[in-house]
Amino acid sequence: MLRYIGNRLILAIPTVLIVTILVFLMLQFIPGDPAEIFLGENRSTPELLAKVRTDMGLDRPLYVQYTSYMWNVLQGDFGRSLNNNRQVSTEILNRLPSTIQLTFAALAIAIVLGFSLGIISALKHNTWIDSLAMFVALLGVSMPVFWLSLLLIFLFSVRLNWLPAIGQGGIQRLIMPAFALGMLSASTLARLVRSSMLDVLNQDYIRTARAKGLIGRTVVIRHALRNALIPAVTVLGLQFGQLLSGAVITETIFSRLGIGKLYVDAILNKDFTTVQGITLIIAVSYVLINLIVDVSYAVIDPRVSYE
C-alpha cells in the first residue's frame, strides 16, 4: 500500500507541473502589465516602471521567471499580491477555512441527499416514489448553481425572511450556499447510486442472503450498499474537487470571503500572482483527493489489493 501511494505521488508531480506551466503561460497572454497594475496608472513613469519590472523579474525570459516562481513555491512563497503587496500565501490561508467549511457542508448535503434518494429509488423501483426521487435528481442536475443560488435568496431571504442573504458567520449563513453548491453533486450521486444498487440487488448473492432469512436492512446496508459504493466513491471524489472549484460562483453570489471570491477578484484585477497561487492549490487538492479515493477502494472492497 505504501509503495502504491509513493508511486502515485511521484506520478502526480508531472500533473501539477503541467498545470502550473499552462496557467503561467495563459497569464502571460492576458492584456495588461503586472508592473503597471502594481504601481497604478497615476504613478507609472517610464523610469519607475522599468525599475519595478526589474525588481519583479519581468524583464527576464519566461523560463527563468517560471523556474524562479516554482523554486519560491517549494519554499512556501507564492509571491506578493499585485493589488495590496501582501503575501499570497497569507491571503490564501486567511480565506481557506471559509471555503473548506462551505465545501464540506455541501459535501455532507450531497452525501446524505444523494445516497438517500438513490437507495430509496432503487428499493422502490418502478413506483411513484422512484419517479419522484428521480424527478428531484433531474431538477438538481438541470439547475445551474448561480440560478439556484438566486432562487434560494429570493425565496428564503426576500419572501420568507428566514435566512440572511449574504455574508458569513453562523450556521444560518451557511445553509443556502451549501445547499446551492451541493445540490448538483447530490443529484448526480443519486442517479449513480440508484443505478449501482439496482445492478447489485439483482445479483445471486443478494438472493442467497435473502433466502437465508437475513433482515432486509442488513441485506441492503451490509451487502448491497457496500458493493455499490465503489462507483459512487469514484464520482464522489471528483465531485469534491468540483465543489472546491465551484465555490467560486457560490462565494461570489453570497459574498463569502473564501478563496473562490479571492480568485474572482484576482482575475478581475489581473492579480497574476494570486491567480497562480490559488490555481496551484486547487490542482494539488484534485491530485490528493483522487489518491484518497483510490486508496479507499481497498478499504471498501476486500477484493481490491495494491500489494
Kindly report, residue by residue over 164-207, the tens digit of the pLDDT.
Answer: 877 777 788 888 888 888 888 888 888 888 887 777 766 666 66
**pLDDT tens across the length of the chain (307 residues):** 667 667 777 777 787 788 778 877 777 776 666 767 666 665 667 777 777 777 767 777 778 878 887 888 888 777 777 777 788 888 888 888 888 888 888 888 888 888 888 888 887 878 888 888 888 888 887 888 888 888 888 888 888 888 887 777 778 888 888 888 888 888 888 888 888 777 776 666 666 666 666 556 666 666 566 666 777 777 777 777 777 766 778 888 888 888 888 888 888 777 778 888 888 888 778 777 877 777 776 666 655 555 5
How far apart CA 92 and CA 184 sit, in angstroms, is 26
Q: 126 CB contacts (<8 Å, ≥6 apart)? A: none
Domains, the chain, ranges and CATH? 95-300 (1.10.3720.10)
How far apart CA 98 and CA 105 sit, in angstroms, is 11
**3-state secondary structure string, 18-59?**
HHHHHHHHHHHCCCCCHHHHHHCHHHCCHHHHHHHHHHHCCC
Q: Is 46 left (phi over 0), alpha (psi -120 to 50) or beta?
A: alpha
Cell of 2: 505504501
- Spatial CA neighbour of 121 closest among 168, 22, 189, 184: 189
Backbone angles phi, psi at 234, to 5 degrees: -60, -50
CB-based contact 32:270 (threshold 8 Å): yes
